[in-house]
């Protein structure tokens, strides 16, 4: 349950840097930002037809597509669950349930090879009855019984969703309950008859980033217009939210003002007022029973002591609110290690540590005012994930173990013990015996050592002829860790491909310092790291530019877009998914304004000076030769605007470059709304890579 840390058509003049000064320059493709416009959608359909005709005709496509559909719809997938009351709930999609079913079982049943599931809500049936393109977007249930739930449904898979109160016992929506119209809402239970609500309340209630800026308390039986305002954030903040900690004896209500992506203020409700929790703005803070836990993104000097960036601190919450500033240091990073996550059980904190991009677990217990520590005996290589069953009432937790070659396995474990029992495991979707995993270091332009993983056939020869795809992200403190993927195994490794995963700066592999090293004016370091990994695999003769492709999505789409325009000589294929590409206008499109803490403000001439140097859309030219590119996005992506990819394709085609474009007409930022769409997207992707790189 509780886990913390890693949250107009027409031509309009834009701004461009010319000779170091700002000048007006028209964008002839601005009409493609009109997401649902008739002219824009007509263009999209034309591009889709071209891409589908070519890629679906590839000899590899039918077999890959059929196999991926089988994998993605497999009934042998792990049904991940969340506990509400006495039941364990799972949302499930397969070939018979395209949109999915929300279902539940007991823990005793869940431990069986084939549990008996009880369907609670059928989204396919609901969509058919209401003639709506519903996509499941999550649920929030009232603790501890979980019989009252707030179901979130998105039209087509976008971030905006409707909220409907659902009565689990009656298997029915509550007609006059807590229901919200479509918006990027944030909701949370206070009690059976009261919720926190942040939504689009009308004019002036949303931030410039497109998220709610007002949080209210809404009581059952009253109209939304009568909800009492608790807090208002500023117009240029990212947004606001609220939640309740239900721990008996330590129950508090909190409001979070999210100033930017990495800066926030935390308030605790005290009667009719709010008291600020005096943490650093860029630190995460939360309560665990009587303790306030603070996760530092920067060094913090307080009472004559400086606590290191990336450290985890704890102190008595009531004492802290009364002015006390004595802390226990629960974790201190090293050059090779960082904190990857924290989970709470009833009596322990479980720290997930990332050590040279491999996870290990540490258990902490607060006993008689002191913290006791022990290392948990868990697999030494790969990725570990911890999910407490019930952090208030239970010490049990799910431990999920995965790596590149061993199918993901879920265990049931208990805090205080290394004993665990295997619950669920993926089948072996591909034969892993022929493959090996290596970890190498590349030297970036400034001398920084950058790790990366190579997944390859044991018999692959270092002759520079191996088709290889290099994947990266490099942003928002997101770590790229080992993972098991039937899609990668079947569609790429089995076809003779090599897969490379880069751990470049901008990510979280080595904590906040690794992330902050590539923020704003230093963004080029992430691109330099990625290019250095490409050069290193070429130097090792794992592959060569003729056989090397790159792939990335969202911020990773910006990454491969920059690599495409800066070093086109290194690659022969690029897959650019749901990307940011026009860094001149990104802050004006959908949620873009919320990312200025990551990239900078293009309307500030000093910041545009560095943004303009790498913005792919402004740095693609007619007289250069580029590798072939497949751009993919989604019409329903209301986070990263599809106009980025659309405009880049239009510009590159007008310049005479050979590119393909496929836009799923629904699916949100994930690019696909169901398993069948996922299968199509990945089959098109790997058919393209195989054609270009073999």
Residues serving a catalytic function are 554, 669
CA distance 468 to 464: 10
Q: In what order do the strands lie in the sheet with 273-277?
A: 239-245, 252-258, 264-270, 273-277
Smallest CA-to-CA distance from 377 within 365, 400, 401, 361 is with 361
Helix axes of 555-566 and 643-654: crossing angle, nearest 10 degrees: 20
Specify the DSSP element, H or E, that contains 17: strand 13-18
Please, which residues bridge with residue 385 across strands? 400
The first and second tokens of residue 644, run together, are 């980025």
How distant is the alpha carbon of residue 77 from its chain centre? Answer: 21
Radius of gyration for the alpha carbons in the chain, expressed in angstroms and rounded? 25
Give the 3-state DSSP-derived string for 560-624, with helices as H, strands as E and coil as C. Answer: HHHHHHHCHHHCCEEEEECCCCCCCCHHHCHHHHHHHHHHCCCCCHHHHHHHHHHCHHHCCCCCC
Give CA angle at 370 (366, 376), nearest 5°.
Answer: 55
C-beta of residue 467 within 8 angstroms of C-beta of residue 547:
yes
Contacts of 557 (CB under 8 A, 6+ apart): 576, 577, 578, 579, 580, 581, 640, 644, 645
Give the DSSP letter of residue 317.
H
CA distance 286 to 475: 24
CA distance 304 to 291: 22
Smallest CA-to-CA distance from 295 within 305, 317, 280, 306 is with 280
Across 41-111, where does the E strand assignment appear? 82-84, 87-92, 101-105
Smallest CA-to-CA distance from 349 within 363, 339, 337, 334 is with 363
**Residue-by-residue DSSP string for 349-397:** EEEEEEESS-EEEEEEEEETTEEEEEEE---SSSEEEEEES-TTT--EE
Contacts of 301 (CB under 8 A, 6+ apart): 307
CA distance 420 to 395: 13
CA distance 352 to 363: 9
Helix axes of 643-654 and 38-55: crossing angle, nearest 10 degrees: 70
CA distance 309 to 352: 17
CA distance 656 to 650: 10
């Amino acid at each position: 349950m509780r886990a913390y840390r890693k949250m107009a058509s027409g031509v309009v003049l834009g701004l461009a840097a010319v000779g170091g000064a700002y000048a007006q320059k028209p964008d002839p493709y601005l009409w493609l930002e009109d997401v649902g416009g008739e002219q824009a959608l007509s263009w999209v359909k034309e591009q889709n037809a071209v891409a589908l005709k070519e890629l679906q005709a590839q000899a590899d496509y039918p077999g890959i597509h059929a196999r991926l559909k089988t994998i993605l719809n497999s009934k042998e997938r792990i049904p991940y669950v969340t506990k509400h009351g006495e039941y364990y709930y799972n949302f499930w999609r397969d070939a018979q349930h395209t949109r999915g079913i929300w279902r539940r079982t007991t823990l005793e049943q869940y431990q069986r090879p084939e549990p008996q599931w009880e369907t609670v809500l059928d989204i396919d049936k609901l969509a058919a009855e209401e003639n709506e393109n519903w996509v499941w977007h999550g649920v929030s249930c009232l603790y501890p019984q979980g019989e009252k739930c707030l179901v979130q449904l998105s039209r087509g898979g976008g971030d905006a969703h409707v909220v409907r109160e659902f009565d689990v016992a009656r298997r029915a929506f509550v007609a006059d309950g807590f229901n919200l119209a479509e918006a990027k809402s944030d909701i949370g239970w206070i009690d059976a008859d009261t919720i926190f609500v942040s939504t689009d309340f009308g004019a002036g209630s949303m931030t410039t980033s497109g998220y709610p800026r007002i949080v209210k308390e809404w009581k059952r039986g009253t109209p939304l217009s009568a909800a009492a305002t608790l807090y208002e954030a500023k117009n240029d903040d990212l947004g606001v939210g609220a939640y309740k900690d239900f721990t008996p004896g330590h129950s508090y209500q909190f409001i979070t003002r999210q100033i930017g992506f990495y800066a926030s203020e935390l308030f605790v409700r005290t009667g009719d007022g709010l008291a600020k929790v005096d943490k650093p703005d860029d630190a995460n803070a939360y309560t665990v029973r009587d303790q306030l836990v603070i996760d530092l993104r920067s060094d913090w000097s307080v009472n004559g002591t400086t606590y290191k960036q990336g450290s985890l601190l704890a102190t008595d919450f009531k004492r802290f609110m009364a002015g006390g500033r004595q802390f226990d240091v629960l974790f201190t990073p090293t050059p090779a290690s960082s904190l990857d996550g924290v989970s709470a059980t009833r009596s322990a904190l479980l720290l997930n540590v990332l050590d040279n991009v491999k996870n290990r677990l540490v258990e902490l217990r607060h006993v008689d005012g002191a913290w006791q520590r022990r290392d948990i005996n868990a697999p030494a290589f790969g990725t570990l994930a911890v999910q407490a069953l019930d952090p208030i009432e239970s010490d049990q937790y799910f431990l999920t173990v995965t790596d590149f070659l061993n199918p993901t396995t879920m265990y049931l474990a208990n805090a205080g013990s290394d004993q665990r029992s295997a619950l669920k495991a993926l089948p072996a979707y591909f034969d892993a015996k022929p493959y090996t995993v290596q970890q190498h270091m590349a030297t970036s332009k400034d001398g920084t050592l950058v790790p990366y993983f190579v997944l390859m056939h044991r018999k692959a020869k270092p002759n520079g002829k191996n088709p290889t795809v290099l994947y990266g992200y490099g942003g928002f403190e997101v770590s790229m860790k080992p993972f098991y993927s039937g899609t990668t195994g079947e569609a790429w490794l089995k076809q003779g491909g090599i897969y490379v995963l880069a751990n470049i700066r901008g990510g979280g592999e080595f904590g906040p310092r690794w992330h902050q090293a590539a923020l704003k004016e230093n963004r080029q370091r992430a691109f330099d790291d990625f290019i250095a990994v490409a050069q290193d695999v070429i130097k090792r003769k794992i592959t060569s530019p003729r056989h090397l492709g790159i792939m990335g999505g969202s911020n990773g789409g910006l990454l491969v877009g920059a690599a495409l325009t800066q070093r086109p000589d290194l690659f022969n294929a690029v897959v650019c998914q749901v990307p940011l590409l026009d860094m001149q206008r990104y802050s004006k499109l959908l949620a873009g304004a919320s990312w200025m803490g990551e990239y900078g403000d293009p309307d500030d001439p000093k910041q545009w000076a560095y943004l303009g140097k790498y913005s792919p859309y402004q740095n693609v030219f007619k007289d250069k030769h580029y590798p072939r590119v497949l751009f993919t996005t989604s019409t329903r992506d209301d986070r990263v605007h599809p106009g980025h990819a659309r405009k880049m394709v239009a510009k590159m085609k007008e310049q005479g470059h050979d590119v393909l474009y496929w836009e799923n007409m629904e699916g949100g930022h994930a690019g696909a709304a169901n398993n069948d769409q996922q299968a199509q997207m990945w089959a098109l992707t790997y058919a393209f890579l195989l054609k270009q790189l073999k």
